[in-house]
Amino acid sequence: MASLSVDQRQALEDAVAATPTIRRVADAFAASGYDLHLVGGPVRDALMGRGVHDLDFTTNARPDAIESILSSLTPATWDIGRAFGTIGASFHDDVVEVTTYRADSYDPSSRKPTVEFGDDLTADLVRRDFTVNAMALSVVTGAFADPHGGLEDLADHVLRTPSPPEVSFGDDPLRMMRAARFTSQLRFIPVPEVVAAMTEMADRIQIISAERVRDELSRLLLSDAPREGLDLLVRTGLADHVVPELSALVREVDEHGRHKDIYQHTLTVLEQSIALEKARGHAPDLVGRLAAVLHDVGKPATKRFEGGGKVSFHHHDVVGAKMAKKRLTALRYPTDDIKAVAKLVELHLRFHGYADADWTDAAVRRYVRDAGDQLERLHILTRADCTTRNQRKANRLRTAYEQLEWRIDQLAAQEELDAMRPDLDGTQIMEILGIKPGRVVGQAYAFLLERRMDEGPLGPERAREELLAWWAARPESTPPHS
């Protein structure tokens, strides 16, 4: 069993010293006669030089005692899960979670664990998800515990479970999703027995709530390198239960080479989206990354074999948008995020009409209007969607999109395109036409907006003239008042 090196010991001491809250909480527990261990992610991250962000502790104190001690330090305490032994507290910028030593196990038919509190740290650590998270540092005595070889696995960048993986994943099937996240987030490789257990037990993920699955999927996607984690979900069959639309793309691989590998193309689009996010100065964007993963999910349902050995996927953008909406709804994503992703999927092909033929200014305005507040994300997705190995074609598409963005910027500067309103508002329309609020006002507003799309700003006088001409041409129209 490996022991801490001088540098590793110093890294842990530095992490504790850099976070005064740790010392404050440790002293309070020690004064009450309890031990307190920093455990899991904070220890792992400190040893990796990643900095400590989440303060997770384990202790031999029971929940009532934990709450009493934390309440003596801060009024901001809450019951995260007393039945599971966890009490939370806030200290300015630091959020603390303290959990009683436990030896819990899951009923195979239940979503929730049965919990038994314990008095032994080693028994608690064997219940942890992975060995790299089963290391603990006593912030009372300074003792370091690593009964399952977490240091060695940390050095080897591998994921193993402290107990047999079948037992660990049986206790909490969400750990299989976490394995995929760590594959991307920490760049660790799961050992073969972990992968085998994930494959054998993939259907167990169905007993976990959609919200918990969603949160793990989101953390995976927001990592710097989500491709490997997503691929692990697909290879083990977990994706069949979480994002089956992604798994379906694998089955679209064409051994005859009549069209490109949609699955690998999707993962490449995701990678290119992330690179563009960074290049354009954006923080990791969950909506944009979900759109990249789901942008082609409509292809299997719309696949058609054409003459000459060609394959088409007509309307896969529209079909895919509906599929994306259904999947994200099932995963309990926020409504606004679902709408944004569906819009991006539906619009991701729109640019190709520009690449094939010059658009009028009216067409550019419609592109901006239809994208709405998702325009920047659409820029990124559309650019990322070019994965062709034909350098000449890639350069042509890149140049065309750069030209489109330039035209959008020029029109925006000239016309305040972001506002995108007709030259007359509803009140002015009713006054000019002498009508009351109703459906016709909306029709007139839509007409003037369409004219703005076609011509740019008309100005109030010309807009009034065109509105009157439109009104006069209506069979059911009546003369406006003078």
pLDDT in tens, 106-157: 555 555 555 678 888 999 999 999 999 999 999 999 999 999 999 999 999 9
- Domain for residue 249, yes or no? no
What does each C-alpha distance from 37 to 59, 60, 93, 144, 315 come to in angstroms?
6, 9, 20, 9, 56
Which of 89 and 439 is assigned the larger pLDDT?
89
Tell me: do 98 and 176 sit in the same domain.
no
Classify strands 136-138 and 144-145 as parallel, antiparallel or unpaired. antiparallel
pLDDT at 482: 41
pLDDT at 106: 55
Tell me: do 391 and 445 sit in the same domain.
no
Tell me: do 15 and 151 sit in the same domain.
yes
Stretch 325-352: mean pLDDT: 96
Tell me: do 207 and 286 sit in the same domain.
no
User: Whole-angstrom Cα distance, residue 90 to residue 73?
Assistant: 10
Note down the domain range covering 198: 159-242
The separation between CA 372 and the C-alpha centre of its own chain, rounded to angstroms, equals 21
- Domain for residue 248, yes or no? no
Contact call for residues 190 and 158 (beta carbons, < 8 A) = yes
Position 480 confidence tier, pLDDT thresholds 50, 70, 90 = low
- Domain for residue 440, yes or no? yes
Helix, strand and coil content of the chain, in percent to the nearest 5, comes to 60, 10, 30
* Phi and psi torsions of 352, nearest 5°: -65, -25
Q: How does pLDDT run across 244-295, given as a tens digit for each residue?
A: 999 999 976 544 454 468 999 999 999 999 999 999 999 999 999 999 999 9
pLDDT at 258: 46
- Domain for residue 185, yes or no? yes
- Domain for residue 17, yes or no? yes
Tell me: do 70 and 164 sit in the same domain.
no
The answer to whether residue 21 scores a pLDDT higher than 80 is yes
- Domain for residue 250, yes or no? no
User: Whole-angstrom Cα distance, residue 401 to residue 396?
Assistant: 9
Stretch 362-387: mean pLDDT: 92
- Domain for residue 479, yes or no? no
The answer to whether residue 6 scores a pLDDT higher than 50 is yes
Contact call for residues 198 and 236 (beta carbons, < 8 A) = yes
Contact call for residues 102 and 116 (beta carbons, < 8 A) = yes
Tell me: do 330 and 215 sit in the same domain.
no
pLDDT at 283: 95
Determine how many CB atoms are found less than 10 A away from the CB of residue 321. 23
- Domain for residue 168, yes or no? yes
Tell me: do 301 and 375 sit in the same domain.
yes
Tell me: do 57 and 91 sit in the same domain.
yes
197, exposed or middle or buried, with CB in 10 Å at 0-12, 13-18, 19+?
A: buried
What does each C-alpha distance from 57 to 31, 86, 87, 144, 396 come to in angstroms?
16, 9, 10, 13, 56
Q: CATH number for the domain including 148?
A: 3.30.460.10
Tell me: do 196 and 147 sit in the same domain.
no
The answer to whether residue 478 scores a pLDDT higher than 80 is no
- Of 199, 225, 242, the position where a domain reaches its end is 242
Q: How does pLDDT run across 413-442, given as a tens digit for each residue?
A: 776 555 568 889 889 999 999 988 888 898
Which residue type sits at 243? V
pLDDT at 387: 85
Query: For the chain, how many structural domains are there in total?
Result: 4
Stretch 370-397: mean pLDDT: 90
Tell me: do 91 and 65 sit in the same domain.
yes
Q: Rounded to two decimals, what is the model's pTM?
A: 0.82
Tell me: do 12 and 152 sit in the same domain.
yes
